[in-house]
Amino acid sequence: MRYIALLLAISTSVWAAEPEKPFINPPPAARDWADLAKLPDWSGVWNPKITDQDAQARTNMPPWNAKAAALVAHQLAEEKAGRPPPLFVNCLPGAMPAWMLVTHNAMEILFTPGRVTLLGESDGNRLRRIYTDGRAHPDDPDPTFHGHSIGHWEGDTLVVDTVGVVPQAYIAISEAAGVPNNGDMRIAERIYLASKDILHVEL
What residue type is 109 in one-letter code? I
CATH number assigned to the domain comprising residue 35:
2.40.128
Residue 22, domain member (yes or no) = no
- Of the candidates 27, 25, 8, 24, which has an alpha carbon nearest to the alpha carbon of residue 16? 8
For the stretch 154-185, pLDDT in tens is: 999 999 999 999 988 888 877 778 888 888 88
Residue 3, domain member (yes or no) = no
- Of the candidates 176, 162, 171, 203, which has an alpha carbon nearest to the alpha carbon of residue 65? 171
Query: Does the pLDDT value for residue 8 go beyond 60?
Result: no
Residue 10, domain member (yes or no) = no
Length in residues, the chain:
203
- Judge contact between 121 and 105, C-beta under 8 A: yes
Domain count along the chain: 1
Residue 135, domain member (yes or no) = yes
Residue 16, domain member (yes or no) = no
Give the range of the structural domain holding residue 44, as residue numbers without chain letter.
30-202
Characterize 137-162 residue by residue with b for buried, 16 or more Cβ atoms within 10 angstroms of its Cβ, and e for exposed: beeeeebbbbbbbbbeeeeebbbbbb
Percent of the chain predicted with pLDDT > 90:
31
Handedness of CA 151, 154, 158, 164 (dihedral sign): negative
Q: Name the band, by pLDDT with cuts 50, 70 and 90, for residue 151.
A: very high
SS (H, E, C) the chain: CHHHHHHHHHHHHHHHHCCCCCCCCCCCCHHHHHHHCCCCCCCEEECCCHHHHHHHHHHCCCCCCHHHHHHHHHHHHHHHCCCCCCCCCCCCCCCCCHHHHHCCCCEEEEEECCEEEEEECCCCCCEEEEECCCCCCCCCCCCECCCEEEEEEECCEEEEEEECECCCCEEEEECCEEEECCCCCCEEEEEEEEECCEEEEEC
Residue 21, domain member (yes or no) = no
Residue 6, domain member (yes or no) = no
Candidate ranges 2-16, 50-64, 175-189; pick with highest mean pLDDT:
175-189
pLDDT computed for residue 9 by the predictor: 45
For the chain, the farthest-separated pair of C-alpha atoms sits apart, in whole angstroms, at 93
Average pLDDT over residues 32-37: 78
